[in-house]
């Protein structure tokens, strides 16, 4: 299956600031793909390049297996910032204007208003809408031309908790209808709850990329202790599946691959080391994300 989007070595500099450095990744059809990173990590710069708003200094990218073009941009719906609508016109009239600008008919307007939960307020002036309702209308505007891809930059920015929940649910439902979605956010919880795949950026550099579970899945570690801590210290580096370890007094935190706690317990016993303490500790999503973005190399 051909990638919807392929980036190859994209770099962008603004004066002395390297906003993006040699970014390469692919987005497959049907993915809800998150660009995750702190403010200033290069997420918005990346989206700007992909949508033809700014030019990269190096590298290239393709949409739908071909260089970007006016035709490919017609297949993309966007929400890049808090949208501007005509406040004294209704939602229907605003969407008619959007459809006209996109050279599309009005046949999908009622459908997208139902999808976004705005159908009952379709004839109300936008000036009566809450911020959350305006954000949902912005998604309706992005969907009105029935695009293959949605590109969203911080789609819940500035919303109250109910508005955030509504927009997140709408994005998930849109993805379930087969749309490919590319979403930039600095909020870990947002990406973890919405996205199927993620790229973690920091200062324009790609730190990690893959499925949400591969990149942000909490990493378990074993906490071990024995009556003879020095014997355990000598044994730890030779444990089956050993990756790394940390010692804190008589206790050892050990990262293991492909082995269960029971496997490790049996192995230690067979080597003459009886464990007095064995516990599995799960690393939180937040710890994993902070380890990536704060420079830990073995997240």
- Judgement on whether residues 99 and 226 belong to the same structural domain of the protein: no
Residues 127-134 have a mean pLDDT of 90
Q: State how many domains the chain has.
A: 2
Residue 297, domain member (yes or no): no
Smallest CA-to-CA distance from 229 within 276, 278, 270 is with: 276
Q: What are phi and psi of 268, to 5 degrees?
A: -60, -45
Residue 299, domain member (yes or no): no
The model's pLDDT over 143-173, given as tens digits with 9 standing for 90+, comes to 999 999 999 998 888 788 888 888 888 899 8
- Judgement on whether residues 154 and 275 belong to the same structural domain of the protein: no
Residue 116, domain member (yes or no): yes
- Judgement on whether residues 98 and 181 belong to the same structural domain of the protein: yes
Task: Identify the pLDDT of residue 1.
Answer: 63
Match 């008919």 to its residue by tokens: 105
Task: Identify the pLDDT of residue 244.
Answer: 87
Residue 244, domain member (yes or no): yes
Distance of alpha carbon 283 from alpha carbon 219, whole angstroms: 5
Strand order in the sheet with 197-202: 76-79, 149-153, 180-185, 32-36, 197-202, 205-211
Residue 289, domain member (yes or no): no
With contact defined as beta carbons under 8 Å apart, do 288 and 299 qualify? yes
**pTM of the shown model:** 0.76
pLDDT reading at 298 higher than 60: no
Label residue 284 by pLDDT band (50, 70, 90).
Answer: low
- Judgement on whether residues 34 and 143 belong to the same structural domain of the protein: yes
- Judgement on whether residues 224 and 212 belong to the same structural domain of the protein: no
- Judgement on whether residues 101 and 245 belong to the same structural domain of the protein: no
- Judgement on whether residues 211 and 247 belong to the same structural domain of the protein: no
Looking at residue 194, which CATH number applies to its domain?
3.40.50.300
- Judgement on whether residues 19 and 43 belong to the same structural domain of the protein: yes
Residues 64-93 have a mean pLDDT of 90
Which one of 171, 195, 216 terminates a domain? 216
Residue 296, domain member (yes or no): no
- Judgement on whether residues 13 and 128 belong to the same structural domain of the protein: yes
Task: Identify the pLDDT of residue 299.
Answer: 32
Residues spanned by the domain of 31 = 5-216
Task: Identify the pLDDT of residue 219.
Answer: 63
Task: Identify the pLDDT of residue 218.
Answer: 59
SS (H, E, C) the chain: CCCCEEEEEEEEEECCEEEEEEEEEEECCCCEEEEECCCCCCHHHHHHHHCCCCCCCEEEEEECCECCCHHHHCCEEEECCCCCCCCCCEHHHHHHHHHHHCCCCCCCHHHHHHHCCCHHHCCCEHHHCCHHHHHHHHHHHHHCCCCCEEEEECCCCCCCHHHHHHHHHHHHHHHHCCCEEEEEECCHHHHHHHCCEEEEEECCEEEEEEEHHHHHCCCEEEEEEECCHHHHHHHHHHCCCEEEEEEECCEEEEEECCCCHHHHHHHHHHCCCCEEEEEEEECCHHHHHHHHHCCCCCC
- Judgement on whether residues 154 and 55 belong to the same structural domain of the protein: yes
Which one of 192, 216, 240 terminates a domain? 216
Residues 237-254 have a mean pLDDT of 90
pLDDT reading at 278 higher than 80: yes
The model's pLDDT over 174-210, given as tens digits with 9 standing for 90+, comes to 899 889 999 999 888 888 889 999 999 999 999 889 8
- Judgement on whether residues 142 and 264 belong to the same structural domain of the protein: no
- Judgement on whether residues 180 and 231 belong to the same structural domain of the protein: no
pLDDT reading at 295 higher than 70: no
Task: Identify the pLDDT of residue 78.
Answer: 92
Mean of all residue pLDDT scores within the chain: 89
Task: Identify the pLDDT of residue 297.
Answer: 38
Report residue 266 as tokens. 């049996």
Looking at residue 253, which CATH number applies to its domain?
3.30.70
With contact defined as beta carbons under 8 Å apart, do 285 and 218 qualify? yes
Q: What are phi and psi of 117, to 5 degrees?
A: 75, 25
Task: Identify the pLDDT of residue 188.
Answer: 85
Residue 293, domain member (yes or no): no
pLDDT reading at 38 higher than 60: yes
Residue 137, domain member (yes or no): yes
Residues 253-282 have a mean pLDDT of 90
Label residue 296 by pLDDT band (50, 70, 90).
Answer: very low
Which one of 191, 216, 241 terminates a domain? 216
């Amino acid at each position: 299956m051909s990638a919807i989007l392929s980036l190859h070595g994209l770099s962008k500099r603004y004066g002395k600031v390297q906003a993006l450095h040699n970014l390469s990744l692919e987005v497959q059809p049907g993915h809800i793909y998150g660009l995750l990173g702190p403010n200033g990590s290069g997420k918005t710069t990346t989206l700007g390049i992909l949508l033809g708003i700014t030019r990269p200094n190096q590298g290239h990218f393709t949409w739908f297996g071909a260089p970007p073009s006016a035709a490919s941009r017609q297949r993309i719906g966007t929400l890049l910032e808090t949208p501007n609508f005509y406040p004294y016109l209704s939602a229907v009239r605003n969407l008619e204007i959007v459809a006209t600008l996109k050279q599309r008919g009005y046949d999908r307007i009622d459908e997208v208003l139902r999808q976004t939960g705005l159908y009952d307020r379709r004839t109300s002036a936008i000036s009566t809408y809450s911020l959350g309702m305006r954000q949902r209308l912005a998604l309706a505007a992005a969907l009105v031309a029935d695009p293959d891809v949605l590109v969203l930059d911080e789609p819940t920015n500035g919303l109250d908790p109910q508005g955030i929940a509504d927009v997140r649910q709408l994005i998930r439902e849109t993805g379930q209808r087969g749309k490919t979605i590319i979403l930039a956010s600095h909020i870990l919880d947002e990406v973890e709850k919405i996205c199927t795949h993620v790229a973690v950026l920091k200062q324009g550099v790609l730190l990690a990329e893959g499925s949400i579970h591969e990149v942000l899945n909490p990493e378990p570690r074993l906490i071990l202790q024995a009556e003879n801590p020095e014997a355990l210290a000598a044994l730890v580096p030779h444990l089956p599946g050993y990756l790394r370890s940390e010692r804190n007094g008589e206790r050892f935190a050990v990262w293991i691959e492909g082995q269960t706690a029971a496997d490790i317990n049996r192995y230690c016993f067979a080597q003459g080391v009886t464990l007095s303490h064995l516990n599995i500790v799960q690393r939180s999503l937040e710890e994993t994300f902070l380890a990536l973005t704060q420079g830990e190399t073995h997240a």
